[in-house]
Structure 1
Amino acid sequence: MSTAHFRLALAFGASLFLAGATNAGSEALQPFKDELFSMQTVIETGDGGDFKVVDYQEMRDINGRDQIPERRVKSAYVSLGVRRQQVDETIDLGTRKLAVTRTGAAGGSRFTVIFIHGRGGDRRLGANDFTFGGNFNRLKNLAVENGGTYYAPSVPSFDSDGVAAIADLIRFSAAQSSGKPVVLACASMGSFICWGIARDAASVERLAGMAILGGATDPAFIGSAAYKQKLPLFFTHGSRDSVYAADDQLALYRRLHGEKYPTRFTLFQTGSHGTPVRMSDWREILNWILAH
């Protein structure tokens, strides 16, 4: 299939996906525990709603949410039936094999989400139901309940080899779903993978959008294949991130937004490096990307 034909197929698949949403207006994903995950206090907004600052308090959002702080969330935040749709597998991608945890159908999904962990992580991080306030359990449930598939791969490295592996997974995922939307989300050092993918025109053609959670900034994103295609880009970041400065990421967002690029930014006030993985509203992120 040519690039042009694939792009048309992707757009047509996305339109069918959005048309299939019921009782949710333009929102493709139906609510799942929104009262626990989405009812966040917004203390500042701007850019017509594309930029917002969310109140974050460690005593409430970690100690009040977790049964064992940072290790096990309270049971109300998880629904474990989704584990019946979860499998650890090694996918043969032709050029390589890649270990993943897949939640949802192996093929025919309405959309696909791929989450890239940071340094020191592997596929277990993105599949853990109880850490990060149950946020990955919610993501898995959002995928399965809405006919999607979620992949948490073990990234072999954060260099060109890692980028090539995820490019293969994106290609595989798009083929498995006949060109339905694929969303790539990258946390922390995993953002190196997203920025590398942004330079790969073939991968960009297969993506519906990307999310960067507490990641590094890439000033060279300007001029990339993703930039030229105006691939939707959603940032979330902690204001007190000591690993990757929020101001650097904000500067990139503001430049992009000033150029009418499709982008959003959620800043968690007083949040640290790991806050976006815990607090990012997956339903908001995915609905916004899929709507584009």
Structure 2
Amino acid sequence: MSSVFTAKSCFLVLFALLRVAEAQAFELASHKDRLFAYPGVLSSSDGGAYRVVDYQEMRDINGRDAVPERQVEGRYVSTGVRRAQQELAMKTEAGTLRFFAVGKTSGASAIVIYLHGQGGNRRQGVNDLTFGGNFNRIKNLMVKSGGLYLSPDVADFEANGKRQIAALISHYAAASPDAPVFVACGSMGGVQCWWLAEDASMVERLGGLMLLGSLWHEAFLKSPAFAARVPVFFGHGSNDRVFPVERQEEFFRKIRSVAKGYPARFVRFETGTHGTPIRMTDWRETLNWMLAQR
């Protein structure tokens, strides 16, 4: 009897170890990595957690777009991914939420959600041709990796918007119970990122937060997400006139000083402006780093 029990116990332990190894080994599949790699790192500090990346408008917009800021050159996009894209609507207690879903709506390996800023809408996050093709890349990355990408409308940056995004996350997290949820917030969309960090029920599913040309939030240092050491990425242009880069850098350094070794990264795009991080952030590098923290 004891030998049977021992054999069964060993099998269960081995199975658990294999599951852990699989989780640790998972990373997003490659897609046009060379084209979307950072053009050059001017400086690096804090063990690589803080980097200054070379950004040049003439090269990274005019040299990349067929029509500057309107249509990227064809080699940067793979539009076949549109076959995996659908426009949906969900009824929530805060009203109907409209959004795009790209990839597996159940049983996904990972979930990435993009939340737009003031004046944006759900279409921004699935536009294949703007922002240098970077949204087309994240769509392809998720489909090739068996994941799900969501781009919803953000009703507002107050109660209704919070309730709708919470409903969206809860629905798709339940449909993909093993999938970590990564939330990328552009500009004012960061309000939603910081709210999620304060909601313990949401934090359980969060794999990481990405603040792209966004704002800081001192209360994060006392949030459930901070206590759980949820990875945070900051991408910011040095010439951002909406949210000064110095304030965001100060906040990043505070996070790292309050909690030694906290999984936070900062990429400063030198000479970049407010929208530069949405165009230039390397989705695959950032998300694979976050996955590795699990």
* TM > 0.5 fold call: yes
Per-residue displacement from partner, 1:200-224 (whole Å, max 9, x unpaired)? 1101111111110000111221101
AA aligned opposite 2:198? R
Write the distance in 1 (CA, Å) between the matches of 2:151 and 2:205.
Answer: 18
> Secondary structure of the residue that 1:222 maps to in structure 2?
helix
Distance in 1, Cα, partners of 2:38 & 2:206? 29
State the SS of the aligned residue for 2:194. Answer: helix
Q: Distance in 2 between matches of 1:14 and 1:100?
A: 33
C-alpha separation in 1, matches of 2:229 and 2:163 = 22
SS at match of 1:208: strand
SS of equivalent to 2:179: coil
Alignment CA distance shift 1:89-1:13 (3 Å): farther
**Does residue 286 in structure 1 map to residue 283 in structure 2?**
no
Which residue number corresponds to residue 193 of structure 1? Answer: 192
| Structure 1 residue 147: Cα displacement | 0.6
1:17, distance to aligned residue in structure 2 (A): 3.8
Alpha-carbon deviation of 1:39? Answer: 4.4
Contact 2:85 2:102 (C-alpha < 8 Å) held by counterparts: yes
The aligned residue for residue 149 of structure 1 is 148
Mapped to 2, the partners of 1:225 and 1:160 lie a distance apart of 19
Q: Which residue of 1 aligns with 2:14?
A: none
The structural deviation recorded for 1:13 is 7.9
Letter in structure 2 aligned against 1:177: S
How high is the TM-score relative to the length of structure 1? 0.90
CA contact (8 A) 1:29 1:146 kept: yes
- The structure with the larger Rg is 2
| 1:7-41 per-position Cα deviation (integer Å, ceiling 9, x unaligned) | xxxxx98864443x4xxxxxx11221011101420
Q: Secondary structure at the match of 1:165?
A: helix
- Corresponding residue for 2:204? 205
Take 1:39 and 1:140, find their aligned partners in 2: how far apart are those partners? 19
In 2, Cα distance between equivalents of 1:198 and 1:245: 22
Q: Deviations over 1:159-180 (max 9, x none)?
A: 1221121112111121110231
Distance 2:144 2:286 in 1: 16
| Cα deviations by residue, 1:26-84 (Å, 9 ceiling, x for unpaired) | xx112210111014200000111111000000000000000000000000000011000
CA drift at 1:192: 0.7
SS at the partner of 2:273? coil
CA distance in 2, matches of 1:237, 1:267: 5
Matches within 5 A, 1:93-112: 93=92, 96-112=95-111
Distance in 1 (alpha carbons) for counterparts of 2:190 and 2:21: 28
Task: Label 1:83 to 1:217 Cα distance change in 2 as closer, same or farther (>3 A).
Answer: same
Task: Tell me by how many angstroms 1:96 deviates.
Answer: 4.4
1:31 matched residue in structure 2 = 30
Residues 66 and 133 in structure 1, CA contact (< 8 A), matched pair in contact too? yes
Aligned length: 274
Paired with 2:216 and 2:69, the residues of 1 have a C-alpha distance of 26
Percent of matched pairs sharing the same residue = 48
RMSD: 1.6
Output aligned runs, 1:15-164, within 5 Å.
16-19=22-25, 21=26, 28-93=27-92, 96-164=95-163
In structure 2, the partner of 1:221 is 220
CA contact (8 A) 1:13 1:181 kept: no
- Deviation of residue 233 (structure 1)? 0.5
Range moving further from structure 2, 205-214 or 216-225:
216-225
The question of whether the paired residues in 1 share the 8 Å contact of 2:109 and 2:178 is answered with no
Equivalent-residue separation in structure 1 for 2:287 and 2:161 (angstroms): 24
What is the TM-score with the length of structure 2 in the denominator?
0.90
Greater Cα offset, 187-196 or 217-226: 217-226
